[in-house]
Amino acid sequence: MNKKYKKMLPWVLLLILSTMVHFYSLNNLYEEILNSSGLIVENLEEKLNMENERAIEEQKEYEKLLKEEGDNWHHEPRENRNKVHPTAIKDLKLHAMSSLLMDGTNNRVLYEENGYERKAMASTTKIMTCLVTLENGNLEDVVTISPYAARMPDVQLNVKAGEQYYLKDLLYSLMLESHNDIAVAIAEHVGGSVEGFATMMNDRVRSIGCEDTNFVTPNGLDAQGHYSTANDLALITSEAIKNEQFIAITNAATHSFNEVNGKRSFTVSNKNRFLYMMDGAIGVKTGFTNKAGYCFVGAIKRSDRTLISVVLGCGWPPRKNLKWTDTKSLMTYGIENYKVKQIYRPIKFDPLVVKDGQLRWESLNLEGDLSLLIRDDELVDIEYDIPSYLQAPVKAGEVVGYARYYIDGNLYEELPILTTTDIAKIDFKFCLNKLLELWSLQY
């Protein structure tokens, strides 16, 4: 080999070495960019198998922990389980044609018998009359009694046409002694007419979610097309007892008031015996007509629970006390058989692949509080509805799935599964920056 080539050999070797270093560096950076963008997935099958094995191990450990806690969890496929467990329901042997017990905290039905059948509901109607008045009327208004209101049948306060009373005082007459003439006077004042007030009542009940209730009268006297269900009345009451003025009125033992000009005075007394039958009782309203029979909507509020009971068609004269015994049986059942438990379970989701994203992976988050009254024999399970991948762009806080909680096969709640990071879509600027990093070896 001549001297010329011998002198060039070190430079050639250096060039080859430098080229190799640059090649491996560029290759590593290129693969890093691809991986971060989600354009390729190496060893996908192997990674999926590993993730599946890890998920199975975590599920087994999770079920073991739940079993140790003694919670109400069941892990057979939901379609293989009975939706109703008849042996779990205590035979209450109630007298009412329709009965229902509701958790007033979340409106979950705890017990019902014919609770969704439309029936006449008598003066339990006045729960909505009172609520609509509190929400739309001025309690300091002066109400003038019309001849039509004064002609209402018993039960009456026996007011006379042309007399004037403060609206606040009339609400006590309405709820404590269930006066039918007062209900009409209130409706005419607040709604302009009985028909106008009935429209307000029906609009309000639809906003609560009641689809099987229609109001025609403000006092609950039997009328064609005037009906509700035990379930709807419980929903109405759940809304009403959130109003502090409603509670103050319905829990008053007595109330005295005068006609505005002072010529007549009255004292009304609460006819709701249930207020003195159970600790924590807060109402609510009795009722009776020939068509409806004896009816009662009751509520109790304790430190750990609020219960609402409804009995419709609970006997006819002379058996007027059955509504009290049925109500007490329902409430006692709810107190003795239901405990407050937290059924929400935290979970760590595997990140989702983001197609065409400037980042490859998106993390997911699930939060919630599902503390509720539940029986020991009620079964709870969860279904997670999550996509297999996401398409860029993705915004943080975006709902991409749901955790569905079932109790005895019935859907109780859906909790949203949210993204945690903003991930933009790959664009020209992003690609240009990555190319510049490649060629300038900024790694």
Q: What pLDDT, on the 0 to 100 scale, is given for residue 89?
A: 57
| For residue 372, pLDDT beyond 90 | yes
Compute the average pLDDT of residues 336-348.
95
Q: What pLDDT, on the 0 to 100 scale, is given for residue 283?
A: 86
Percent over 90 (pLDDT), the chain? 74
pLDDT in tens, 220-267: 999 999 999 999 999 999 999 999 999 999 999 999 999 999 889 999
What is the C-alpha to C-alpha distance for residues 108 and 341, in angstroms, rounded to an integer? 14
What is the model's pTM?
Answer: 0.80
pLDDT in tens, 151-174: 999 899 999 999 999 999 999 999
| For residue 379, pLDDT beyond 60 | yes
Domain ranges of the chain: 3-39+428-440, 98-337
pLDDT in tens, 136-156: 999 999 999 999 999 999 899
Judge: domain 98-337, CATH 3.40.50.620. no
Compute the average pLDDT of residues 188-204.
98
Q: What pLDDT, on the 0 to 100 scale, is given for residue 59?
A: 53
Cβ atoms of 298 and 284 closer than 8 Å: yes
Q: Binning pLDDT at 50, 70 and 90, where does residue 443 land?
A: very low
Q: Binning pLDDT at 50, 70 and 90, where does residue 428 land?
A: confident
